[in-house]
Amino acid sequence: MTEYSDLLGPSIEVRNDKGEVIFAMKRKDTWGPTDYLFEKHEDRAGTEEDKAKLNEVVAGIAAMSRMAGFPLYDIGEINEALSSEKASVMESPEGKAAHSFYLPWLAAINKII
């Protein structure tokens, strides 16, 4: 089942036979630039019909985005990049110094709470 929202803030959800979302596309900001976020759950597409439905919608969205010129951001890729960036900051000398400075304060606050 595919669901569409209004034209100003389009979003698409494709569900498998169990009703779980296997693909979701949402506009990042209704009134701002046409940036979209999408989630693709290949692990939830168990049947061949679900896999075909997922591949069809992904191919369609990719073609539309190229024609319209709007970017797509994979939430998984964004999370991975942010986690990597956070890890590199925390492993830097400045990150380690900040962590060692704030750790006693956080422990004291947790005792109060």
pLDDT digits (tens, 9 = 90+) for 10-58: 578 888 888 888 888 887 776 766 677 788 888 888 889 989 988 898 8
Q: Which amino acid is at 19?
A: G
Is the per-residue pLDDT at 1 higher than 60? no
Q: What share of the chain is helix, strand, coil (3-state, %, to 5)?
A: 55, 20, 25
With tokens 């698409």, the residue in question is 12
Rounded CA-CA distance 37/30 in Å is: 12
Report the half-sphere exposure of 103 (CA within 13 A, side-chain side).
7
| Global model pTM greater than 0.75 | no
CB within 8 Å of 40: residues ≥ 6 apart = 22, 23, 54, 58, 74, 76
With tokens 């000398």, the residue in question is 93
Residue 57 CB: number of other CB atoms within 10 A? 19
